[in-house]
């Protein structure tokens, strides 16, 4: 299905809202709220990786088919996992979403898979470096830069180049804005949840 850039953006924003709702509902459960109180243990990180890895897979399946690829919010789940649980949670979620995307095939399979894995791992490294004190603007800026880097990765690795360029011209704005908005709302809600403890 080929939609306009704005049509794709609206679809991706709807999907990002669902991921944020899942995040909010999970953290009403006592087990998940405990993760906000300190450094998540290995089990916590594994659970985060599986849940947000599954949301990365959802991001792929619910994406918009256009120009022989999928406009999607796949990276949102791994980024949230990394910002909640650190590098292992982010890497785990990224691997679930990235490996799944790779085996779906297509001319963007490799850069898309690598981008998803990197998005979760780097978010987790940022979490560790900042000792969980994220605020709103750091995760939001990271999401924006990561999605821009993803578009660059597509242009560098996907062949033929003219097909990759055409794809990026269609999906760049929707994917950058949807994932950035999703992470911004997540960071805002995370701050509120932490302050309400």
Q: What CATH number is attached to the domain comprising 74?
A: 1.10.1760.20
Q: How many CA atoms lie within 13 A of 189 on its CB side?
A: 21
User: How many domains does one find in the chain?
Assistant: 1
82 bridge partner residues: none
This prediction's pTM: 0.94
> pLDDT, tens digit, for every residue of 83-113?
999 999 999 999 999 999 999 999 999 999 9
> pLDDT, tens digit, for every residue of 41-78?
888 899 999 999 999 999 999 999 887 788 999 999 99
Q: How far apart are CA 100 and CA 125, in angstroms?
A: 23
Domain of 61, in residue numbers: 5-195
């Amino acid at each position: 299905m080929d939609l306009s850039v704005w049509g794709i953006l609206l679809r991706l924003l709807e999907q990002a809202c669902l991921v944020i709702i899942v995040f909010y509902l999970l953290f009403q459960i006592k087990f998940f709220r405990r993760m906000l109180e300190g450094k998540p243990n290995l089990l916590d990180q594994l659970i985060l990786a599986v849940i947000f890895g599954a949301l990365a897979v959802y991001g792929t399946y619910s994406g918009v088919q256009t120009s022989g690829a999928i406009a999607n919010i796949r990276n949102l789940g791994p980024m949230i996992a990394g910002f909640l649980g650190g590098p292992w949670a982010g890497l785990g979620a990224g691997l679930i979403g990235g490996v799944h995307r790779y085996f779906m095939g297509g001319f963007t399979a490799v850069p898309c898979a690598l981008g998803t894995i990197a998005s979760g791992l780097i978010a987790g490294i940022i979490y560790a470096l900042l000792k969980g004190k994220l605020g709103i603007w750091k995760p939001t800026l990271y999401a924006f830069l990561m999605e821009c880097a993803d578009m660059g990765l597509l242009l560098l690795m996907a062949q033929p180049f003219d097909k990759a360029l055409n794809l990026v011209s269609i999906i760049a704005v929707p994917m950058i804005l949807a994932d950035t908005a999703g992470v911004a709302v997540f960071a805002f809600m995370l701050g509120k949840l932490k302050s309400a403890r």
